[in-house]
Structures are given as C-alpha cells and as structure tokens.
Chains A and B, each alone.
Chain A
Amino acid sequence: VKQLRIVDTSVRVLYHSIFVLSLYFLFAGHNQPGGGFVGGLTAGAAISLRYVSRGVDSVRRAFPVAPWTILGSGLVISATVAIVPLLLGESVLEHDDVTVELPLLGTLKATTALPFDIGVYLLVLGLTLMAFEAFGDDPDDDAAGDEPDGVTT
C-alpha cells in the first residue's frame, strides 16, 4: 500500500481525537447535539481516515474483535434494554434514571437510554467496519484491473 507521509501523519493525530469526539457525541447526546447514531458515524469517519492512510489491514488490526461481533453486540445490547422492562412489568423500552455523586467529578446523572444509545453506536460502528471488510480489499489484488467496460447503469 502506497503511503503519503503528510496524510499518514495527520491521520495519526486526528484518528484518536475524532474517536474521542465520537465518544463525546455518544455520551452528551441526551442533552446536547449528538447521540449514538451520530457518534457511531463519527467513529466510522475516523476509521475511514485510517483506511485511506494505511489500508484495510490496519483497520482490521485496530479492533481486537471482528466487525460482525461489534455489529451483533450492538443489537443485543439495545434489544436487551428494550426487553428487560417488559420482564419487570413495564412497557417496552421504559427507561429509568440514576443520579450518582462521584468524588472529584461531581454529580453524574445517567438514564438507561445510554446503554440503548451505546448499542446504536456499536451497531453503526460495526456497520462501517463491515463495509470496509466487504469492499475495502484492493481490487488490484484480485487481478480485476482489466474489467470489461460493458456495464450499464
């Protein structure tokens, strides 16, 4: 894979920052612009930068688990949040909130909407990784450079 130094260097700087931004979107979403969906897309954008700079193998190495595991666990988390209230006698997706006093950090308020949003985040992230898994291979590797141009749209 060809590498451009300027792209490579800026991606090194940006990659983690964008990822942190995506986490911010995820956690701030309930009160400020953001949310699991936007967060997941932003994380996907970070990954696409990594892909552009260092190729699909680097993307694969970036996560210790397979894309479909991330994808599936996202749905499992969200579905669990949806179903558990049903088992406790409430309606589907009934959310509850807790307020915890943390030393040094102050008051932390969280609702069970957060794990639901985390599920959405993981699913969108997994979706992006799946896309790179599916189409990210270098077409030249498949000896597909000389394709017929007989394709209608």
Chain B
Amino acid sequence: MIAILLLHLVVGTVIVASGDRLGRRAFLVAVVAPAVTLGWAATQWSGVIDGAAVEQQLEWVAGLDLALDLRLDAFGLVMVSLVSGIGLLVCLYAHGYFSHPGPGTARLAGLMTMFAGAMLGVVLSDHLLALFVFWELTSVTSYLLIGNDDTNPRARAAALQAIVITGGGGLAMLFGLVIIGEAADTYLLSELLADPPTGGAVPAGLVLVLLGAFTKSAQFPFGSWLPGAMVAPTPISAYLHSATMVKAGVYLVARLAPIFAVVTVWRPLVLVVGSVTMIVGGLRALRQHDLKLLLAYGTVSQLGFLMLLLGTGAYKIAQAGIVLLLAHGAFKAALFMVVGIVDHEVGTRDVRAIPKLAGAWRPVQVVAVISAASMAGLPPLLGFIAKEKAFAGYEVATFAGADAVLVVTVVGSILTFAYSARFVLGVLGRMADDEHRLVDAHPHDPPVAFWAPAAVLTVFTVVAGVAPVVVDALVQAATVALDPAAKPSEVVLWAGFGLPVVLSIVVIGVGTLLVVARQRVSEAQRRLSAPLAHVPSTEQAFLAGLKGTTTFATGLTARVQHGSLPLYLAVVITTVLVLPVVVLVRAGIEWPDPVDAAVQIPLVGIIVAGAVGAAMMTRRIAAALMLGAVGYAMAGLYIVQGAPDLALTQLAIETLFTVLFVLVLRFLPPRFVDRSPAVVRPFRLAVSLAVGAAVFVMMLVAAGGRGDVTEPSVSQEMIERSAPEAKGNNVTNVIIVDFRGLDTLGEIAVLLVAAVGAVGLARLGRGRRSGTGAPDAPDGGDLVGATEAGRES
C-alpha cells in the first residue's frame, strides 16, 4: 500500500517537474497511477471481501508512537475503487477535454495524481493522525487545482475560500481527533471500533471532528466553497468536487458513526446538518441556469443525503449509503463529463442557450439521460436501488427523529428528481429561449474518445442497476467492515412491494408535477426567496468574516504596536511590577544572613557604586562601562558562592557586552539628552524606584522560598544522576545539554531569531539613512520605521 502511495507521489512529481513539455499527454502518463492501483486492488479483492483486511505498518516517529498504519478493508475497497476507477476515467476524459493545452495544463495532471495519492491515504489510513495529514494534503492539492489558472482572480479567490474553510475545519478536526485518541488511548480506527472511548471530553471532540467533516463535505453552512470551486476545469470538478474529495467528510463520518452514534451530540448534529444541506442544496440547484452550478448544488444536496445515510450508525441505512456512494460516483462524474463536453463543443453551459443537438450528439445525450435518471432514482438503475434501500432503512429505524428524517429524504429526493429533469431538459436543448440563443452557434461534434469515459460509467450505472449482484458482495462486506455487528441484506433491484416503493412513486409523481409546472415553481421560488434577500448568504457571511478578521487584526496591531519606545518600556515595566507583587503580598520575607564572607563587602560596594554611577552619568559610554563594572563584580560574587560556571559565563558575557555596547553607542549621540517635559520626570523616577524595590523584595522572597519545604531540592537529584546517567561530572553543563536540553534548544532558536532580527533592523535603518541622505533619529526612529514597514507589508 505504501508503494501505491509513493507511486502517486512519484508520478505526480515527475509530471509537475516536466513543466509544459508533456502538454495534454501528461494525463496519459498520469493514468499509470490509478491503473496500477486498480490492478493491485483486484488482487486483494477476494480476500478483503471475505473480511480479511490487508494491513501494513511503517515506523515513522517511533518516539512519539507515530506510525503509518495502513489498512484496507471492504469499505476502504469501495473508496479505493471510486478514487482510482473514476480517476482513471477522468484522466482519459481530460486528455480529450484539453485538446488545446495552455500553460499549466500538464501541471493539472500532476497535481491530480498527487491528490489521488492523498485521497487514497485518507481512505487507507487506520491511524487518525495519519488520516489527518492526508486529509490536509487533499485540501492543499485541491487549493492548487482550483487556483491553477493563477491569472484569473476568480480562481484565486475560490481557491482561497476553499482552503480557508476546509483548512479551518481540518484544524478543528485535529483537536477533536487528539481528544478522542487520548480518551481512547489509541489512535487506530480499528481499535476504536473494538473498544469505544467514553468520558466527558469525547462529545466535545466529536463536535470538532464533525466540524472538519462538514466543511470538507460542503455541509450547510460551510458549503459555499464548493460552487465557487467550479471555476476549476471541468475534469477537476468531476473528480475532486463531486466524486472523491468531498466524500472524505462523509467517509470519516461513516467510519465513526458505528462507534459514536450513541453519544448524545452525534445524531442530532449529523441529522440536522445533513437534512438542511440536502434540502437547501436541492432548492438552489433548481434555480441554476449554469449546468455546472446546477450539478454543484446537486452535489451539495447529495452529500447531505449521504450524511443522513452514513451518519446514523444504523447498519441498514449505512448499507444504503454505501450503494449511494457507488451510484453517486458513477452518475455524477458522468454528468460532469457531459457538461464538459457541451461546454467544450458548444461553447456555453447556460441551459437557456444550449440548442437542440442531433447526430453525433446522440451518445452524449443517452449518457446524460441515463445518468440523470440514476440521480433522480428511476428504476432499473443503481440510484434507484440506493434510494429504495434508504427509505427501507429509515422505515425500520428506531432512533429519535428517524421519521422526520425519512420525510426529509423524500422531499430531498423530489427536489433531486426535479433538478435532474432540469439538467436533462437543458442538455437536450428544450429550455433554450430566443433571448439567450447563441447567435453564431456552430457546435462541434464530440469525438468518440471524448465521451467514451462517461459511457463506461453509464454502463456501470445500468449493469449494476439491472444486475446488482455485481456489487452485492462488495456492499455487504463493506457494511460489515463499518460495523462488525451488521447483518446486511442482499442488494436487489426489486425488494418487494412496501412503503419504499410507495415513497418512490410519490417522489416520481410529485417530481414530475414540479417539472411540468416548472415555470410556476420558479416563479414561486423567486417570490418566496425575495424576503430572504436581506439575510446574508453563507458566502457573504464568509466574506464578511474574512474582512472583519483583517480589519480587527489591523486595528489591534495599530493599538498594540504603536511604535512609542517609552510606552513600550512603561508597559513592560509595569507588568514586571504588578504581576509579582500580587504574589509577593502574601509571601513572608525571610532575611538571610547579611554577610557570608568578608570579600563580599568590597564586591557589593563595587556593584552599588557602579549602579549609582550608571544612573548619574551623562555620557553614554561612561554609563555602559559602569554597568560593566557591576557585571564583573557580580561574577566575583558567583565565585565566592562557589559557582564557577556561572562566573565564567558572566565574565564572558560582560566582556562581550561591553564591546557590543560601545559598538552600538557609536551610532548614538555621546550624551543623554532628555527632551521630555519636566512633569514626567518625577513619575519616571517613581517608576524606576518602584521597580528596583519590587525586584529587591522578589529576590528576598525567592531566596527564602524554600524555607518551609521539606522535600530535598531538585538539584540534589540532578547532581546524583549527572555522572551515572549523563556521563558528565559538570552538572551545570549536563543540565544545559541533557536534563533540560530541550529548553536549550528553544533558547538558541530564540537567539537565532534575535540575531537575524537585529541585523535586519540595523540594515533597514542604515539603508534609509544612506538612501535619503538625511540622518534619521537613529534608535527610536529606526524602530518606529521598522514597525511601520512591518505594518504596511
């Protein structure tokens, strides 16, 4: 399995790296990956159907228990067949679609292959965190695919919207997965299924995971990115945004539902969101004139339907969901291909402009009619079987709200019937009106190779519908793979007369009425939606949210990073002053012995003299040297206290700092000049004295802080363990590089950032000075300039 994933990565990279040299032949190269995957899946077929999952594990980060656990069970096989089967056909189709490849066309093939690899990773991962990584990779490749035409601002905006929404959901999902994994003490899906976690945090984790699944599968109210993503070339839309990627959310929900459906938050959330998505998507699809947008909203609606089927945790309904997964993959990909053919050969996707076509268009029209009929749920097609099974499953379901959801699925199916009919009428040219008719329409005849992939999918739709036995074993095994307790029924075309058949007749009857009276329906829709015009759509809400975030961030930055050095200093000092004092007022002060050794007296004398001197000096260099004296005397105190390492470090730092001080001071005026008004000086003096006093008290409290603690100091253990465990006699160094080595790593990383920042600031200031010729105020001015430059960029 790992080899399969690597193959996708390699093929994708090779194609992307080859630039535009391959042109549309890149899609023929890309066929290799799904073809090999399908061949491999075929060899595993019989074993997996019998219930023997294929497992493979690759150690990844052993220290964190991270491994790449891959597992192919029957449900995974359903998804692999979808991803690679449709992937193969879409590659062949894209070869016909891009008959005039432009720059970046070949890149699409490479990215699509990488996407397919990531998607296979999602459905093959048994480890939740590996699943998350692949999940995000599909978001990233989807972003690149939508925005492939980087000269088109609409494509860039749509790509950004898609990745912000799905990426945000993905982050929420990561938190949720970690909560669940920690509660269960395992991150393996297969182990979760065997031993479901319980506990207070699990519902919160589930809500977060569902948030990720909802954004990925374009559920209400996160669905606005999917119609936007339709700016991508049609083969991409057919593959990612109908047949595969958007099913990732449904896939995860299907995996988790048998485990977590009993948790209180699960069913209400999934069923309500799925219901709203199914109805709203269907209503919006009915209003579209663009065939591709019609299909996009139809996909949103069907994803809601899939949520309702795979999210209940009831195996009978889940089985219907698995059939619908297969059926939807086949008919929706075929329909998208039809849209692409019409768009490519006629030059429009507007149902009002598509003329009546004949001759070589017949096969395309047959594909469109049969696939749309499967979508509408007409017998004897696979879509019909899925819908019947769904109704039958909800008929016997016992959980709360099942009857209401059954009504929702019937209404949703009626809408589906109506927009399927709208699609067919549009493709057949029956909705053309004079107003929109193309003036110089010269539709080309589509070549056979162009529509052949869609025809293959249609053949599957028909064969699997007439003889469901071809998918029966797979569907049954997949149902058991999701829920070992399941006893799936046979997949048959005619399950006997009962409520499902009645409901199907209702769907077809009411649906036909909606189609016949479509003028009036659209009138009514317009009238009814008029009051809703003032309610912001989810799309507008998203844009407003995005804008609000940047506005807020800009405002906050302007307030917090105002650029006034004295104010920065005041904030820092006050924090230092206030925070410890809150603690200090409760702690008692224990006065230590004033003098341990006689030599301390002159050392402290030097320190006091140096500190006072530094504050009194008017020359900057002199003040810096005074501070140096304080530092050296401190090093002396360390030696007296028996800390040679500390003293050594202090000496080295002091030496270096004095030199660096002098370096920087050369850029400043030699003397301190205070231009601030006289009234603030007493205030500053007070703040300084307060800080000094606070630090003094803090040191006293800290020194006496161990007085009433009876446990031995932690340093005792460190000294004991230093030589035997870390093989070092210098415990100070052992602490730095071993016991607390991670701290050191963090500290040196900070040092690096500080060094780069200092050089950047210095260069910036210097550059400005030589650029304008007029010297700037060197310290404050440069900093203000730097922050302002940062704010503008």
The answer, yes or no, to whether B555 is at the interface (CB within 8 Å) is no
Contacts of B62 in A (CB 8 A): 86-90
Q: Which residues of B contact A119 (CB under 8 A)?
A: 748
Q: In the complex, which of the residues B672, B730, B749, B780 contacts A29, with contact meaning CB atoms closer than 8 Å?
A: B730
Grouping DSSP codes into helix (H, G, I), strand (E, B) and loop, the B interface class, with mixed when no group exceeds half, is helix
Q: A45's closest neighbor in chain B, by CB?
A: B655
User: Pick the contact of B736 from A35, A88, A136 — CB < 8 Å?
Assistant: A35
A106 part of interface (Cβ distance < 8 Å): no
Chain A 131-153 interface 0/1 with B at a Cβ cutoff of 8 Å (1 = within) = 11111110100111011111111
Q: Is the CB of A130 within 8 A of B759?
A: yes
Q: How far is the CA of A137 from the CA of B765 in the complex (A)?
A: 13
Q: Which of A78, A134, A135 has the most CB of B within 10 A?
A: A134
Contact of A131 among B63, B736, B755, B770 (CB under 8 A): B755
Q: How far is the CA of A43 from the CA of B653 in the complex (A)?
A: 11
Is the C-beta of B485 less than 8 angstroms from some C-beta in chain A? no
Interface centre among A68, A88, A93, A137 (most CB of B within 10 A): A93
Closest A residue to B758 by beta carbon equals A134
CB distance from A30 to the nearest CB of B (A): 4
Contact of A134 among B671, B745, B762, B778 (CB under 8 A): B762
Cα of A132 to Cα of B754 in the assembled complex, Å: 14
Residue of B660, B728, B752 near A31 (CB, 8 A) is B728
Instruction: Tell me, yes or no, whether B742 is within 8 Å of chain A by CB.
Output: yes
Q: Which of B648, B738, B756, B762 interacts with A95 by CB under 8 Å?
A: B738
- Contact (Cβ within 8 A) A120 B744: yes
Confirm or deny: A111 has a beta carbon within 8 angstroms of a beta carbon on chain B: yes
B775 at the interface (CB under 8 A from A): yes
Contact B775 A92 (CB under 8 A): no
Question: For window 605-662 of chain B, which residues contact chain A by CB distance below 8 Å?
Answer: 644-645, 648-649, 652-653, 655-656, 659-660
A131 to B761, CA, bound (A): 11
* B582 interfacial contact with A, CB 8 Å: no
Does A97 contact B727, Cβ atoms closer than 8 Å?
yes
Q: Which of B41-49, B673-681, B689-697 contacts A (4 or more CB under 8 A)?
A: B673-681
Q: What is the CA–CA distance of A78 and B752 in the complex, to the nearest angstrom?
A: 12
Task: Give chain A residues whose Cβ lies under 8 Å from the Cβ of B728.
Answer: 30-31, 111, 113
Whether A75 sits at the interface, judged by CB under 8 Å, is: yes
**Is B663 an interface residue, CB under 8 A from the partner?**
yes
Shortest beta-carbon distance, A63 to chain B, in Å? 15
- Check B663 against A135 for contact (C-beta < 8 Å): yes
* A interface residues, tally (CB under 8 Å): 69
List B747-771 residues whose CB lies under 8 Å from chain A.
Answer: 748-749, 751-752, 754-756, 758-759, 761-763, 766, 769-770
Question: Is A3 in the interface zone, CB < 8 Å from B?
Answer: no
Q: Which of B659, B727, B748 has the most CB of A within 10 A?
A: B748
Q: Which residues in B have their C-beta under 8 angstroms from that of A150?
A: 673, 675, 777
Interface residues of A in 86-111 (CB under 8 A from B): 86-93, 95, 97, 109, 111
Give chain B residues whose Cβ lies under 8 Å from the Cβ of A85.
Answer: 63
Residue from the list A41, A42, A82, A151 in contact with B741, Cβ < 8 A? A82
Query: Are the C-beta atoms of B759 and A133 separated by less than 8 Å?
Result: yes
Across the interface, do A152 and B780 meet the contact criterion of CB distance under 8 Å? yes
Tell me, yes or no, whether B668 is within 8 Å of chain A by CB. yes
Q: Determine if B183 is an interface residue (Cβ-Cβ < 8 Å).
A: no
Separation of A110 and B754 alpha carbons in the complex (Å): 31
When C-beta atoms are compared, the residue in chain B nearest to A115 turns out to be B737
CB <8 Å contact, B729 and A31: yes
Complex: A152 Cα to B393 Cα, angstroms: 79
With A30-B727, A123-B751, A151-B780 as given contacts, are A142 and B648 in contact (CB-CB < 8 Å)? no
Chain A 8-32: CB-based contact to B (< 8 A → 1; otherwise 0): 0000000000000000010001111
Docked CA distance A42–B651 (Å): 9
| A42–chain B nearest beta-carbon distance, Å | 5
Q: Would A151 and B777 count as touching, CB distance under 8 A?
A: yes
Q: Closest chain B residue to A90 by CB distance?
A: B63
Instruction: Provide the residues of chain B in CB contact with A128, threshold 8 Å.
Output: 656
**A-side contacts of B733, CB under 8 Å:** 29-30, 34-35, 117
Q: Is B61 an interface residue (CB 8 A)?
A: yes
Instruction: State A30–B730 Cα separation when bound (angstroms).
Output: 5
- A31 proximity list for chain B (CB < 8 A): 728-730
Residues of B within 8 A of A93 (CB): 738, 741-742, 745
The answer to whether A91 touches B659, judged by C-beta atoms less than 8 angstroms apart, is no
Cα A40 to Cα B775 with chains together (Å): 35
Contact with A along B777-788 (1 / 0, CB 8 A): 111100000000
Q: Does B604 contact A (CB under 8 A)?
A: no
What's the minimum C-beta distance from A26 to chain B, rounded to whole angstroms?
Answer: 10
Give B774 Cβ to nearest chain A Cβ, in Å.
10
In the complex, whether B447 has a CB less than 8 A from a CB of chain A is no
A14–B779 Cα gap in the complex (Å)? 34
A142 near B742 with CB under 8 A, answer no
Option from A79, A87, A126 in Cβ contact (under 8 Å) with B61? A87
Residues of B within 8 A of A72 (CB): 752
Which residue of chain B lies nearest to A86 when distances are taken between CB atoms in the complex?
B63
Contact A113 B664 (CB under 8 A): no
Instruction: Name the residue among B652, B749, B778 with the largest chain A CB count within 10 angstroms.
Output: B652
Give the distance in Å from the alpha carbon of A87 to the alpha carbon of B61 in the complex.
5
Enumerate chain A residues within 8 angstroms of B763, measured Cβ to Cβ.
134
Report yes or no: B748 in contact with A120, Cβ–Cβ below 8 A. Answer: yes
Whether B742 pairs with A92 at a CB distance below 8 angstroms is yes
Which of B673, B726, B769 sits near A113, CB closer than 8 Å? B726
Q: Could you tell me the distance between the alpha carbons of A92 and B673 in the complex, rounded to whole angstroms?
A: 51
Residues of B within 8 A of A25 (CB): 648
Minimum CB–CB distance from B360 to chain A (whole Å) comes to 59
Given the known interface contacts A133-B759, A135-B667, the answer about A82 and B729 at a Cβ–Cβ threshold of 8 Å is no
On whether the beta carbons of A152 and B742 are closer than 8 Å, the reply is: no
Would you call A41 and B63 a contact (CB within 8 A)? no
Chain A residues, Cβ within 8 Å of B766: 137, 142
| Cβ–Cβ contact A35 & B732, under 8 A | yes
Known: A52-B659, A72-B752, A134-B758. A152 touches B675 (CB 8 A): yes
Give B227 Cβ to nearest chain A Cβ, in Å: 44
Contact A111/B727 with A92-B63, A93-B741, A120-B748 known, Cβ cut-off 8 Å: yes
> Could you tell me the distance between the alpha carbons of A117 and B736 in the complex, rounded to whole angstroms?
9
B777 engages A126 (CB within 8 Å): no
B597 located at the interface, meaning its Cβ lies under 8 Å from any Cβ of chain A in the complex: no
In the bound complex, what is the Cα–Cα distance between A54 and B561 (angstroms)? 40
Looking at the assembled complex, report how far the CB atom of A140 sits from the nearest CB atom of chain B, in whole angstroms: 9
Is B586 in contact with chain A by the CB < 8 A criterion? no
Which residues from A are CB-within-8-Å of B754? 127
Q: Contacts of A41 on B, CB cut-off 8 Å?
A: 649, 652-653, 655-656
Using an 8 Å CB-CB cutoff, how does the interface string of B542-567 with A read, 1 for contact, 0 for none? Answer: 00000000000000000000000010
A sample of 5 more A-B contacts (CB under 8 A), given A92-B742, A139-B667, A144-B667, is A30-B728, A30-B730, A38-B648, A120-B748, A148-B777
> Which 9 A-B pairs have CB atoms at the shortest separation, nearest pair first?
A89-B62, A41-B652, A134-B762, A86-B63, A93-B741, A30-B728, A48-B659, A31-B729, A35-B733
Q: List 9 A-B residue pairs with CB atoms under 8 Å apart, sorted by A's residue number.
A: A86-B62, A87-B61, A90-B62, A113-B728, A113-B738, A113-B741, A131-B755, A143-B775, A151-B673
B contacts, CB < 8 Å to A: 59, 61-64, 566, 644-645, 648-649, 652-653, 655-656, 659-660, 663-664, 666-669, 671-676, 726-730, 732-734, 736-738, 741-742, 744-745, 748-749, 751-752, 754-756, 758-759, 761-763, 766, 769-770, 775, 777-780
